[in-house]
Amino acid sequence: MDDPATYQRPGPLARFLTVISDIVSRPSGAIGLGLVALHLLLALSGPWIVPYSFTEMNAGLMLSQPSSAHWLGTDHLGRDTLTRTLLGGREAILVTGIATPLAVLWGGLLGVFVGLAGGRLDEVLMRIVDAFLSLPWILKMLVLIVTFGTGIEVLIPTLAFFYGIPVIRIARAATHDVVARDFVQAARARGHGRATIIWRELLPNVRDALLVEGAMRWSWMLLAFSSLSFLGFGVSPPTPDWGLMIADARGFMSFSPLGVLAPMVGLSSLIIGINLTADALAKALGIDRAQKAPV
C-alpha cells in the first residue's frame, strides 16, 4: 500500500497514459483506438498521400472498374474513388472535432450548475431539455440549416447547440451523485462560493462522465453530419465527403458497387472505431454508461 506521507497524486500525463494503456489492453479498445488514430492520421496527411487530385475528372474513364491506375475505379465524373475516399472524412472530422468539445463544454457547465443550484430553475430547465429531446434531431438541424445555409460556420454551432442539450442531463445526474458527498458539504461549510465549488469540487468529479459522453456525442454527431451530407444538406460538392459520395454513387451501384462500398467502409470504420473506444474508455474510467438511443 502507498504510504500516505510519500504518496504523490499521479500527474495528468501519467493518468492519461494509464487510461490509454487500459483502453489498449482490451482487444475491442485497441481496435477502436487504432481505427480512430488511423483516421486522424489520414485526415492530417491525406492531401500529401493521395494519388490524384480530388477534382481531377477524366471523361474517358467514367465509372471505370478497378485498375492499376485507379485501384478502386472511378466515379460518374471519372474522379478517382480511392482519392476521394481517403479525403472523404476530413470535413466531417474537422466539423465534429470542433463541435463536440463545444457541446460537452456548454452542456456540461450548465448541467453541473443546475445540478448544484436545483430548485425552480432546475425544474424548468429539465422540462425544456425534455421538450427539445422529444423533437427528432434531423428536424431541429434542418430548420436551421435550410434557413442559414450549409457552410461549416452554420453546421458547427448548430451541432454544438443541439448535441449539448442531452449533455446537460448527463452532467446534472453526475453532479447529483457528487453534491451530497462530504467534501462538497465541507466546501460549503468552509464558505466557498458556487463558482469555487463547481470548479474545485464538482468538475473534477464529473469530468470522467463528461469525457465518455463526449466520445459518444462525437460518434452521433458524425452520424448526423454524414446523414445531412447524404440528404444534400451538408457539405457542398466538389468537396469529397463520404455521405455525399454515397448519395452520388447510389444511382450507379449496379455498374460500380465500389463507388458506394468504399466511402461506406471509410465512414463505418471511423464510427465503429469511436464507439469501441468510447466503450473501452467508459470501462477504463469506471463509468457505467447505459446504452441509449441517439437523440
Partner 1 sequence: MLAMLLRRLGLGAITVWIVSVIIFVGVEILPGDACTAFLEREAKGKLLENCREDLGLNRSAITRYAEWAGNALRGDLGVSANGQKQISELVGFRLRNTLLLASGAMLVGIPLALFLGIVAALWRDRPMDIMVSTTAIAAMTIPEFVSATLLILVFSVWLGWVPGIVLTSANAPLAEFFPEVLLPIGVLTLVMTAHILRTVRSSVIETMASDYAQMALLKGLPYWQIVFRHILPNALLPTINVVALTIAWLLGGVVVIETVFNYPGLGRMMIDSISDRDLPVTQAIALIIATVYVGVNLLADLLTMIANPRLRTVHMRRS
Give the residues lining the site for partner 1 (CB under 8 A): 127-128, 130-132, 134-139, 142-143, 146-147, 219, 223, 226-227, 230-231, 243, 246, 250, 253-254, 257, 260-261, 264, 267-268, 271-272, 275-276, 290-295
Spatial distance between the Cα atoms of 123 and 205, rounded to a whole number of angstroms: 23
CB 30 within 8 A of CB 276: no
Indicate the residue among 198 and 245 with the shorter CB distance to partner 1: 245
Spatial distance between the Cα atoms of 257 and 263, rounded to a whole number of angstroms: 11
- The distance of closest approach from Cβ of residue 106 to partner 1 in the complex, given in angstroms and rounded to an integer, is 18
- The distance of closest approach from Cβ of residue 120 to partner 1 in the complex, given in angstroms and rounded to an integer, is 14
Indicate the residue among 127 and 181 with the shorter CB distance to partner 1: 127
Q: List, as own/partner pairs, every contact residues 178-185 make where C-beta atoms lie below 8 angstroms and the sequence separation is at least 24, other chains included.
A: 178/202, 178/205, 178/206, 179/115, 179/116
Indicate the residue among 195 and 293 with the shorter CB distance to partner 1: 293
Indicate the residue among 115 and 243 with the shorter CB distance to partner 1: 243
- 75, 39, 41, 40: which is closest to 57 by C-alpha? 75
Indicate the residue among 181 and 250 with the shorter CB distance to partner 1: 250
Indicate the residue among 194 and 250 with the shorter CB distance to partner 1: 250
- The distance of closest approach from Cβ of residue 97 to partner 1 in the complex, given in angstroms and rounded to an integer, is 18
Indicate the residue among 139 and 189 with the shorter CB distance to partner 1: 139
Spatial distance between the Cα atoms of 248 and 252, rounded to a whole number of angstroms: 8
The partner residues of 74 in beta bridges, in order of sequence, read 80
Distances (CA, A) of 110 to 61, 160, 195, 287: 54, 14, 12, 21
- The distance of closest approach from Cβ of residue 179 to partner 1 in the complex, given in angstroms and rounded to an integer, is 17
- The distance of closest approach from Cβ of residue 257 to partner 1 in the complex, given in angstroms and rounded to an integer, is 6
- The distance of closest approach from Cβ of residue 294 to partner 1 in the complex, given in angstroms and rounded to an integer, is 7
- The distance of closest approach from Cβ of residue 111 to partner 1 in the complex, given in angstroms and rounded to an integer, is 15
